[in-house]
Amino acid sequence: EDSKDKVRENRLSNEGKWIYRMRKEKVERSFADSKELHGLRYCRLRGRDNVREQALMTAACQNMKKIALHLDRVV
């Protein structure tokens, strides 16, 4: 119960509210992009291993895209 109270206090603090707002922009946007831009809305293959491979390949593509955009800004 003490742990729940500490988490609740942290979440309701100014920093916690800022972090939660950033979560919507960063994490949720990433999942939306996976579905809309990278074909994760529907699986192209059958079987757990094939679905896992598609999800990992999608995540790898997103990470490479983020790295490329970051490097473009730095240079």
Tell me what pLDDT residue 2 has.
Answer: 83
Q: How far apart are CA 26 and CA 20, in angstroms?
A: 10
Which amino acid type is present at position 70? H
Reduce the secondary structure of 24-74 to three states and give it as a string. Answer: HHHHHHHHHHHHHHCCCCCCCCCCHHHHHHHHHHHHHHHHHHHHHHHHHHH
Q: Convert the pLDDT of each residue in 7-27 to its tens digit.
A: 788 888 888 888 888 877 777
pTM of the entire predicted model:
0.58
Q: How far apart are CA 4 and CA 23, in angstroms?
A: 20
Tell me what pLDDT residue 68 has.
Answer: 93
- Tell me which residues of the chain have a pLDDT lower than 70: none
